[in-house]
Structure 1
């Protein structure tokens, strides 16, 4: 591992945005991605906030860009592997300082700056000899650290370490400071996303937008069983998580969890994901989902018996309230309001006993008439 301990000052023209940056999105990253396209993809990254900081306070050496000298577009260049957002903000300012701003706000931000300003000609950088040298830092900072990437970006980074570097789950865990089950679930989730890509009926853009929901769903036994996914699979067996004989289930799963252009998802909120897993454990609920053109989550949940804990809680709460009131009800035996409430309670209780005849027989000493 070779990481320079010295700050190297470079001109902005010598610095290149990283086309392999996971934050650009899985479908966009690639060695041939042009710099102008990268800059365009980064428009929504609140670059103007960074630019304001730079124009007011300068570029602090402790925020130095981490760069590697490697081949890009057929020539060797300084490529920024950490600090792309900072470089993008500087590049927008630099274009504005040369009168080439794409948006008026950049002209305003660059007011008073010229192309020869030290902000552009003396950018602090730290050189590394190879991308591998900084993988631990990137993993800790953006996967488990304080400047986290989005869920899909994290999973893509983990998959790159496994597939391009030949690392095991344990290797990755040590590299980025995570936990082995989390690394494994990220990798299998990412491979599941790639497997969905080959299914025309799946609205992949919806899956990518809600990758965290996909990740969470694999925690549930119901999802893993319905898709026949081995969550303990090693990388070589996890490349295609869902076997061929379960691909129909995969298409159903994607539709119910993410919807498509015509239909909304059955699972509307991430907090329903665990309950969705329980639904998939119920044969009756799955049959309902599969035969219905517009299935309803609540109906499926009831068919799966998912509301039983809530019903138990309500009856237990009612029993607790009755026990409490028994100690004082005798004081108000002349109250018409209390009498009406007791009669309502008795009617409801009688109905409950018809649902549970064994309990009725016990309470009535065997006389069920």
Structure 2
């Protein structure tokens, strides 16, 4: 018999759930990690502050909630005696859940549609708005029909969070509503580690398994998980402030994807890396902290040197491939000066001579304008002395 597939049945129970029985997801991959597991009110505050709820609010105060866009939820306090196998017909299951929702305090965690749910809660609860400091320019409902409409939200009900994973993966990992890089990595890491733990398989085997759930290339999943693992190790083992990396998370993959940088950091390519061990260890931790500080800053008093991501490949790679250039960057923090030395000292020296010669030749074209000028004559004599000294040192 073939294994059950996530989309089997083609229909899930769909309910109109009272707004006060919906809880926004405190494990949402798009949340910063310091907010994971926090109470509802704090999560709502974060969603308001960071996720542009105003645009949804303007639509809701004018139109109410469009039933054509149900949220996706899982019940979190089903009765202990509930037995899914008793409901082979989805309509029977829907009727049971509907009755339970009306007669008890059955609550649901929102897995898809958190911004919409949060917006509806803010629009219909003045006390909540005051508590989390919603400003007066946030849209307000002036039509009681809208208020009534938002008191219940249409929702598709999944009984298990695991069954939702393929849908969220298609929608936000490889679909047209993709999450930002950090949220994708958090979500994939959660899936990979849960799959590894529940099936007692290695992380590499788990990645292959998740690949069947998430229609994305295996190497892409492994790259994102490795980048997330590096971030966790920097924070947990080396007290590195990773907060400033969140919005530039894709650069972590770029850093570990460049051969020169990998060699400097002493890590393997993705297809060889052993995820059962730490990527960062006592031998390479100083270099990791150094490179990540150059690229991201330290989140406190050190600004990133490589604010332009294009410079990571064009400048940082060649610099780290050359010992002299690397030492110069460590000592002086000057990218261009270090890059000039990245071909070796002799190449740098000859380049400096060429630049000096070119500038003198350019000066010759206008030298007649300053004939007899004592300041110019003095500078020319000083230059001549420097050239003679250089010539003597080269003999």
1:297 is matched with 335
SS in 1 for 2:257: coil
2:110 is matched with 80
**TM-superposition CA deviations, 1:39-79 (whole Å, max 9, x none):** 0111131112112212222322221010101249xx96211
1:263 is matched with 302
- Using the size of structure 2 for normalisation, the TM-score is 0.69
Conserved? CA contact 2:124–2:147, under 8 Å: no
Conserved? CA contact 2:61–2:139, under 8 Å: no
Comparing both chains, which one has the higher relative contact order based on Cα–Cα distances under 8 Å and sequence gaps of 6 or more? 2
CA RMSD, 1 decimal: 3.2
Q: Number of matched residues? A: 306
1:355 is matched with none
Provide the rounded CA distance (Å) in 1 between the counterparts of 2:242 and 2:251. Answer: 13
Provide the rounded CA distance (Å) in 1 between the counterparts of 2:32 and 2:273. Answer: 22
Conserved? CA contact 2:306–2:312, under 8 Å: yes
Provide the rounded CA distance (Å) in 2 between the counterparts of 1:236 and 1:296. Answer: 35
1:230 is matched with 268
Provide the rounded CA distance (Å) in 1 between the counterparts of 2:229 and 2:14. Answer: 39
Establish whether residue 140 from structure 1 lines up as the match of residue 146 from structure 2.
no
**TM-superposition CA deviations, 1:313-337 (whole Å, max 9, x none):** xxxxxxxxxxxxxxxxxxxxxxxxx
Conserved? CA contact 1:68–1:128, under 8 Å: yes
| Aligned partner (choices 40, 44, 56) of residue 35 of structure 1 | 40
Conserved? CA contact 1:45–1:85, under 8 Å: yes
**TM-superposition CA deviations, 1:174-216 (whole Å, max 9, x none):** 3222111111110110000011103556332223342222121
Single out whichever of 140-149 and 86-95 deviates more from structure 2: 140-149
- Structure 2 gaps of 5+ residues are 1-5, 79-104, 197-204, 352-364, 366-395
Residue pairs, 1:179-258, within 5 angstroms: 179-200=217-238, 202-232=240-270, 237=275, 239-258=277-296
1:187/1:235 CA distance change after superposition, 3 Å: farther
Establish whether residue 287 from structure 1 lines up as the match of residue 327 from structure 2.
yes
Establish whether residue 168 from structure 1 lines up as the match of residue 210 from structure 2.
no
1:110 is matched with 141
SS in 2 for 1:109: coil
Conserved? CA contact 2:58–2:139, under 8 Å: no
- Structure 1 gaps of 5+ residues are 313-339, 341-369
Provide the rounded CA distance (Å) in 1 between the counterparts of 2:76 and 2:108. Answer: 7
SS in 2 for 1:103: coil
1:238/1:152 CA distance change after superposition, 3 Å: farther
Conserved? CA contact 1:96–1:110, under 8 Å: no
**TM-superposition CA deviations, 1:100-159 (whole Å, max 9, x none):** 6843547752222379602213x1110111111111111122222222222111111111
Provide the rounded CA distance (Å) in 2 between the counterparts of 1:255 and 1:198. Answer: 16
1:108/1:272 CA distance change after superposition, 3 Å: closer
Residue pairs, 1:351-366, within 5 angstroms: none
1:281, distance to aligned residue in structure 2 (A): 1.7
2:19 is matched with 12
Provide the rounded CA distance (Å) in 1 between the counterparts of 2:185 and 2:276. Answer: 14
Conserved? CA contact 1:98–1:114, under 8 Å: no
1:97/1:117 CA distance change after superposition, 3 Å: farther
